[in-house]
């Protein structure tokens, strides 16, 4: 089924970038200095906030490319329904392009497909590009799957207007690919980016495109109305697409065929994984470096009103040798900076639906000087794998074990008064009205401030797997815009409305005991090379 062929491939990435992007001869000015009267009409507080941001941005400018925009160009959405309705609205209004990078599109998402069809039928010049993961997108084949759902779009509108791509990790080949069950083979790496672009706007989120994420699975969602930010992530989407299989409709029982176009930027990861990584490195490293990234100059906001920096972060560890990914260095720098004594009155909030921070991040979280810090994670009863069949059903207890270890470390470091763990729960999975929790992110509030001025939004789960196996894309916001800071503060607070403080004593209750099967499953996953 995996056939090398000379096929239609409209994704001439390098040419597209050179034609559509206008690189700056000099980096944009990213100094944080406010007008004399401050953004909020006062003098000293704004200057103080600005000076406290300098240690963050000086190093961030060396780590990742960024654009300066006005804070009003970022809209913070709250609910799954609002996310879905906004996504459909942007699709319907698109005139030139729609690009969707996601782990998967639910195989029964007929309304979303109908919305895409409606837009394509109404706008003859509109083009659609979809990138998903090959393992997740074809898992059910020859039964209905993500791939079989999307292939008919190519049939109706043709390959010149619709391109469906599926990325396959180079880590799962040969005997490993043949014998590892489909339910767990995703542990060797996925296309995990969530980039939902339409014309010159992009939705950054951790949500996939399926019914639960549209109805009862809480995530985070930021709409960036910025031509520059959207164009940058469009280039990332195109680059990874050129390293992915092409999905074409067929009359086979599965309804699709996966092929590797000769025009791709590298050989197939299944045939030559080593060369695939080498060529991927050559393509991607330049896109994510602040020195060589294609930075456009499309946004029209006056320079004096550009009070917000958006750093474009990417974690492409499995595709880069050497690894020059930017997400882990950026978040590590933020936490290291918060360890300085002058940030003792700052605070942070960290959330991950699947609580398993990379060991280096756990150490940095415990090492900050900040007080009033909060970790939000899903209760086992709000975990999407709760009572799931097979090995995945052990995951909620595995994350419980990891959360308990974190709280024990908090106590050992005598940080009980500085760090609080809260579990998010809205009903019990499987019961009417229940929601699951999938939000991830970081907010930083500086001393003497009410609301955050730094926030991280995107696909990453901040795990060892995120930093070694999956493809992640994130936006790091650093702002002095009072309205945006207020919106970030509200987001941080309402995410906690369904949380309860969880202590080490709570983990000791009989219903929270973790059995030997869970510990054994975690050991097996590590031994065979996968990661949670």
Q: Pick the catalytic residue from 12, 61, 123, 199.
A: 199
How far apart, in whole angstroms, are the C-alpha atoms of residue 153 and residue 109? 13
Half-sphere exposure of residue 111: CA atoms within 13 angstroms, side-chain side? 9
Strand pairing class (419-424; 499-501): antiparallel
Q: Pseudo-torsion of CA 11, 17, 21, 25, nearest 10°?
A: 170
3-state secondary structure of 70: coil
526 is catalytic: no
CB 287 within 8 A of CB 187: no
Strand pairing class (347-352; 440-445): antiparallel
3-state secondary structure of 33: coil
Please, is 41 exposed, middle or buried when counting C-beta atoms within 10 Å of its C-beta (0-12, 13-18, 19+)? exposed
Half-sphere exposure of residue 218: CA atoms within 13 angstroms, side-chain side? 32
CB 76 within 8 A of CB 243: no
CB 59 within 8 A of CB 76: no
- Residue 175: asked if its preceding bond is cis (omega within 30°), the reply is no
CB 338 within 8 A of CB 346: yes
CB 472 within 8 A of CB 192: yes
3-state secondary structure of 454: strand
216 is catalytic: no
How far apart, in whole angstroms, are the C-alpha atoms of residue 454 and residue 476? 7
Q: Pick the catalytic residue from 88, 90, 107, 192.
A: 192
Q: Pick the catalytic residue from 107, 194, 227, 333.
A: 194
The alpha carbon of residue 108 and the mean position of all alpha carbons in its chain are separated, in whole angstroms, by 23
Name which of 356, 460, 465 is nearest 404 in CA terms: 356
199 is catalytic: yes
How far apart, in whole angstroms, are the C-alpha atoms of residue 375 and residue 419? 7
CA distances to 191, 237, 462 from 315, in Å? 11, 13, 10
Strands (E), 235-292: 245-249, 256-261
Distance, first Cα to last Cα, the chain:
29
Biggest CA–CA distance in the chain, Å, is 69
DSSP 162: E
How far apart, in whole angstroms, are the C-alpha atoms of residue 223 and residue 482? 18
CB 485 within 8 A of CB 452: yes
Strands (E), 189-244: 195-198, 201-205, 217-218, 221-224
Catalytic positions, please? 192, 194, 199
């Amino acid at each position: 089924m995996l056939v090398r062929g000379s096929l239609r491939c409209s994704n001439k990435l390098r040419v597209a970038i050179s034609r559509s992007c206008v690189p700056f001869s000099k980096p944009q000015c990213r100094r944080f200095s406010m007008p004399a009267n401050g953004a909020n009409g006062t003098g000293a507080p704004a200057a103080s906030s600005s000076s406290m941001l300098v240690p963050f941005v000086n190093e961030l400018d060396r780590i990742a490319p960024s654009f300066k925009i006005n804070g009003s160009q970022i809209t913070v959405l709250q609910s799954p329904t609002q996310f879905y309705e906004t996504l459909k609205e942007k699709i319907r209004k698109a005139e030139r392009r729609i690009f969707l990078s996601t782990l998967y599109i639910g195989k029964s998402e007929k309304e979303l497909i109908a919305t895409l069809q409606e837009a394509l039928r109404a706008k003859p010049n509109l083009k659609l590009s979809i990138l998903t993961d090959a393992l997740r997108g074809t898992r059910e084949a020859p039964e209905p799957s993500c791939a079989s759902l999307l292939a008919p779009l190519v049939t109706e509108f043709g390959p010149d207007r619709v391109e469906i791509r599926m990325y396959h990790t180079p880590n799962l080949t040969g005997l490993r690919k043949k014998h590892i069950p489909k339910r767990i083979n995703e542990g060797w790496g996925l296309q995990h980016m969530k980039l939902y672009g339409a014309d010159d706007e992009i939705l950054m989120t951790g949500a996939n495109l399926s019914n639960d994420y549209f109805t009862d699975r809480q995530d985070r969602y930021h709409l960036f109305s910025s031509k520059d930010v959207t164009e940058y992530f469009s280039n990332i989407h195109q680059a990874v697409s050129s390293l992915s299989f092409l999905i074409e409709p067929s009359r086979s029982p599965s309804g699709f065929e996966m092929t590797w176009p000769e025009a791709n930027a590298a050989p197939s990861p299944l045939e030559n994984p080593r060369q695939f990584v080498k060529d991927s490195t050559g393509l991607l490293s330049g896109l994510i470096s602040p020195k060589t990234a294609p930075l456009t100059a499309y946004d029209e906001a006056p320079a004096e009103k550009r009070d917000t920096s958006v750093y474009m972060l990417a974690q492409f560890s499995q595709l880069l040798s050497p690894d020059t990914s930017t997400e882990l260095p950026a978040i590590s720098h933020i936490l290291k900076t918060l360890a300085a004594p002058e940030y003792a009155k700052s605070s942070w909030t960290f959330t991950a639906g699947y609580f398993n921070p990379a060991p280096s991040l756990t150490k940095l979280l415990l090492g900050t000087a900040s007080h009033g810090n909060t970790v939000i994670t899903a209760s086992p009863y709000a975990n999407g794998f709760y009572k799931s069949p097979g090995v995945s059903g052990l995951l909620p207890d595995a994350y419980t074990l990891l959360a308990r270890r974190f709280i024990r470390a908090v106590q050992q470091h005598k940080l009980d008064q500085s760090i609080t763990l809260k579990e998010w729960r809205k009903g019990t999975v499987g019961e009417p009205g229940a929601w699951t929790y999938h939000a991830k992110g970081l907010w930083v509030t500086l001393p003497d401030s009410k609301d955050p001025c730094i926030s991280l939004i995107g696909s990453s789960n901040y795990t060892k797997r995120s930093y070694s196996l999956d493809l992640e894309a994130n936006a790091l916001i650093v702002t002095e815009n009072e309205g945006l800071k207020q919106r970030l503060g509200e987001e941080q607070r309402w995410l906690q409305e369904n949380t309860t403080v969880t202590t080490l004593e709570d983990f000791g209750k009989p219903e929270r005991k973790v059995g030997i099967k869970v510990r054994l499953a975690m050991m097996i996953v590590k031994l065979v090379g996968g990661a949670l």
